[in-house]
Structure 1
Amino acid sequence: MTVCYDGLPTAWTQFATLVVFLFFCWVASRGVPVLKSLATVAGSSMFIMSILFIIMMFAAPAINPHAGFYNINFNWKNLMPTFNVKYFTSLSILVFAVGGCEKISPYVNKVQNPAKNFPKAMMALAIMVMVSAILGTFAMALMFDPKVVNANLNEYISNGAYMAFQKLGEYYHVGGLFMYIYSWCNVIGQFSTLVISIDAPLRMLLGSKEAKAFIPEGLLKLNKHGAYINGIWMIVILSGGLIAIQALVPNAQAVMAQLVKLNSTTMPLRYLWVFAAYVALRKQQKKFETSYQMTKHQGLAYTAGIWCFLVTAACCIFGIYSPDPFTLFLNIITPIILIVLGLILPGIKKYQESKAN
């Protein structure tokens, strides 16, 4: 299935991607109730599949001991990474991998008793991600030779999860059953992530009371479902342009690898604004009322905010580099366009106010 997809002309795959993207932009325009249903099903199915994969993979050597598993050598030399250019330029992927929970921040006030339940949900989320990632890494180390993975990196980036479930099915003599189950769960999960990635940033950007002072009036327009319809159109233009330009990339595997690299640099860069804002808010915390805080100790709060800012900035700066000129160009131009857009919108708002007066 993945080989067939990877063999398609890039223009076809990008056209299909554009169609799916436009459809889910329409879904996002239907408002929060649709998002809630999608997110519940997607989150539950993917987490269950992750846990089942880990349990069944660790059980596989006992059930099928002659299936050709790789030995994990837990010595210090193997556990320590090689500190070279490739290592430092891939750190941003780690930051990207543990990110994402900020997307639910616009929905905090919709949680029952948010001061108590939201921090609990964040702790549970962090623990689930940590356990799943660590145990999943050990499980996959039994399945794949690192030398083969490094020699075919684009293939494993785009198809690695499917290959893992395919191998798991072979260990249990059920063929591709697990891969097909995972595929459908992943479809639901990715569609849910896509819709939330469209809706949540718009609510963060446009939903605050302060937005009216900096955002053009047209972008603040809500449709009858409570979605920022013109904001969705803005996303269609920005993301649609990126999808179109990637039709020039040689194959689908290269597109996937390029998108992972682009996401791992562009998305964590936005966290810099969050950490800077956090430190600034802590300096002026007496002016604001909040129901919950990470810590009441100012020194610890400053240390956490500044440390997160510096580590994220370093990882993203290193991550921008790529030996491929087109990937390097996208990694540089995309953050610039988004920053310029952030500077232009307040300017348009100021112009509208001056014209009105």
Structure 2
Amino acid sequence: MIEEKKNKNYMSWLTLAMLDYVTIIGFEDIFFPFQNQGLSVVISWLFLLATYIIPYEMIVTQLGLTFKENEAGGLASWIRRGTGSDALGYATSWMYWAQTIPYLVDVSNSVIVAISWLILGNNTLSQHMSTFTFGLLTFVIILLFLVFENSYRKALDIMSLIGGIAMFSMSFIFVLLVAWALTHGAHMATPLTWSNLKPSFSLHYFSTTGLLIFAMSGAELAAPYVSRLKHPVRDFPKSMWALVFMTAFMTIFQTLGLAALFDTHNIPKDFKMNGSYYAFQILGREAGMGNTLMYVFAAVQLFFMLAQLAALVDAASRVFASDTASEYMPKWILKKNKSGRPVHSYMLTAGIALFLLLLSGTLPEINDIFNWLLNLNGIVSPYKTSVVFIAFLAIRYQQDKFKSDFVFIKNKKGALAVGWWCFLFTFACATMGFLPQEAQFGTQAWTNQLWMNIFSVLVLFGTGFLLPWLRKLEMKREADEEVLSN
């Protein structure tokens, strides 16, 4: 046993922090809130970091160390063991799977956008491609990755690691280049005045906060790696704190960098889709490099998005391999190939992705499709994150039963108060996200997007309730056939 421990390939706490960081927040994630809230998003970031992100990371730390002996780990097992309910464990697994699908489609969209910048060198994609062709190519990319995921798993793992490190490097380079530009004669496009920093607490402001949670959440992804740390009790909290500081640095300084380049009162309409390319285009020209820097970023972005696809497709199959799947899912959907992968789960993933693409195809422009899918993530992802706090509340209400080597807020009432705050805030932001963000209130476009949001979420999460019903019908049919055969 001692020899086995010596030979085990341990992961350092910093490596775990980096692995978690690159799967949580990407360079482009800072652009979305900047367009929605302007420079005042700095205040939002600071507020969230102090009152939400630090508690969230520490809550994940306690959950991870409470169930560290379970190497599979993760949110579904936390809920299942914390509540003692297999049904809630399955529902959480399904929710975790369902919320990856809009992001899977969104990332596939970003692959096409990155390729267009590499080929065209500008933002004229919509002039060369119809919304139908855009949707069709997105679906083809998803299908290709569903095939490659099954055949080239190891290669995709390596690509994911390289892509994450490359994108983190580009984010850091961006901050350094903005600092260089400001010290060499450039001026802030958006002055750092209180009138620009002051949040405008409007309905639009609150409906866009879900995207901030979407950008900063995901720390629970580190849970399965707790057993890979040599000293989990000491090193896992270190990883979470490192994640907090890296997230704080990039969100604040990258937002200030955007304020140096863009006037928040005159942000391009397609900023969410093309803003990151505009940023490196501006910096490259400031540095006398022409479009070279933009092309470098486009190449890194393409590689990073392909790496993200690899991770998302893998995550999309996990719910079908869970230990509660056979109880709640029909047998046909759990059918596995020679490699042990549930092939029909990939078909379901492709089917729901196609549904979202067909729905988004009703929008008039490619930019509208990109924005709508992104905003949909600002709904479903926070709903998933709210379940983290339910798991925390479950173990703190039963803290005599669940022991952990790390306890976030030893006082029970204080811990429950923080847990309830985080849950209610996350749930409220997710629900407010249903309100369309780009369309004007009262217009036909606003009403259409509202119904698109509601219908999409019902399908994504509702399918999870349909499968257990189908499983019951299947079990009843099997029982009837057995009676007849006897």
The alignment's TM-score, normalised by the length of structure 1, stands at 0.88
RMSD, aligned α-carbons: 2.5
Q: Aligned partners of 2:144 and 2:283: how far apart in 1?
A: 33
**Which position in structure 2 is the counterpart of 1:227?**
341
Change in CA separation of 1:40 and 1:53 when aligned onto 2, cut-off 3 Å: same
- State whether residues 393 and 419 of structure 2, in contact with CA within 8 Å, keep that contact through their aligned partners in structure 1: yes
- Unaligned residue ranges in structure 2 (runs of 5+): 1-120, 440-445, 480-486
What is the correspondence of 1:156-195 to structure 2 with a 5 Å cutoff?
156-195=271-310
Match of 1:3 in 2: 123
Partner of 1:29: 150
User: How far does residue 312 in structure 1 lie from its aligned partner after superposition?
Assistant: 1.1
Per-residue deviation, 1:246: 2.0
Instruction: Give the deviation of 1:266 after TM superposition.
Output: 2.0
Q: Which of 10, 13, 23 is the equivalent residue of 2:134?
A: 13
1:111 is the counterpart of 2:233 = no
- Give 1:72's aligned residue: 191
Q: Which residue of 2 aligns with 1:345?
A: 467
CA offsets per residue over residues 65-100 of structure 1, 9 Å max, x none? Answer: 1x554253243x432211112211111111111123
DSSP-derived class of the 2:265 partner = helix
Partner SS state of residue 148, structure 1: coil
TM-superposition CA deviations, 1:147-170 (whole Å, max 9, x none): 111xx33x1111111100100101
| Aligned twin of 1:251 | 365
- Alpha carbons 1:104, 1:200 under 8 Å: kept: no
Q: 1:286 to 1:221 in 2, by over 3 A?
A: farther
| 1:333 aligned partner, one-letter code | F
Q: Work out whether residues 103 and 201 of structure 1, in 8 Å CA contact, stay in contact via their aligned partners in 2.
A: no
Contact 1:50 1:132 in 2 (8 A): yes
- Cα 1:170–1:209 shift into 2, 3 Å: same
Q: Is the 8 A contact 1:143 1:164 kept in 2?
A: yes
Deviates more, 1:284-293 or 1:169-178: 284-293
**Structure 1, unpaired ranges of 5+:** none
Contact conserved, 1:89 with 1:315, CA < 8 A, in 2?
yes
What code does the residue aligned with 2:241 have? Answer: M
Question: Deviation of residue 129 (structure 1)?
Answer: 2.0
1-side partners of 2:381 and 2:163: how far apart? Answer: 21
User: Percent identical across equivalent pairs?
Assistant: 27
Return the offset for 1:51: 0.4
Cα pair 2:167 2:301 within 8 Å, conserved: yes
Instruction: Kindly state the Cα deviation for residue 32 of structure 1 after the two structures are TM-superposed.
Output: 5.2
CA distance in 2, matches of 1:353, 1:213: 10
How far is the alpha carbon of 1:128 from its aligned partner?
Answer: 1.6
Shift in CA distance, 194/356, structure 1 to aligned 2, threshold 3 Å = same
Cα distance, 1:221 vs structure 2: 3.6
Report how many residues are paired.
349
1:261 shift after superposition: 1.1
* Partner SS state of residue 3, structure 1: coil
Distance in 1 (CA, whole Å) between partners of 2:478 and 2:404 is 36
Corresponding residue for residue 321 of structure 1: 435
Name the SS of the counterpart of 1:145 in structure 2. Answer: coil
Give yes or no for the alignment of 1:240 onto 2:354.
yes
C-alpha distance in 2, partners of 1:307/1:224? 47
The normalised TM-score by structure 2 is 0.66
Q: How much does 1:329 deviate? A: 1.8
Aligned to 1:279: 393
SS in structure 1 of the partner of residue 433 of structure 2:
helix
CA shift at 1:54, angstroms? 0.1
Q: Which residue of 2 aligns with 1:141?
A: 259
